[in-house]
Amino acid sequence: MLRGILRWLKRIGLAIVVLIVCATLFGAGYEFFARRHAHTAYPPPGQMVDIGGRKMHLDCRGTGSPTVILESGLDTNGSLSWDKVQDEIAQLTRTCSYDRAGVMWSEPKATPQDADAVVADLHAT
Mean pLDDT, residues 66-82: 86
Tell me the per-residue pLDDT of 86-124, one tens digit each, with 9 for 90 and over.
999 999 999 999 988 888 888 888 888 888 888 888 888
Q: How far apart, in whole angstroms, are the C-alpha atoms of residue 103 and residue 124? A: 17
Q: Is the pLDDT of residue 62 over 90?
A: yes
Q: How does residue 77 score in pLDDT terms, banded at 50, 70 and 90?
A: confident
Give the Cβ contact number of residue 51 at 10 Å.
Answer: 19
Instruction: Please provide the average confidence, as pLDDT, over all residues in the chain.
Output: 88
Do the beta carbons of residue 99 and residue 71 sit within 8 Å?
no
Which of residues 119 and 10 earns the better pLDDT score? 10
Question: What percentage of the chain has pLDDT greater than the value 70?
Answer: 100
**Mean pLDDT throughout 59-78?**
88
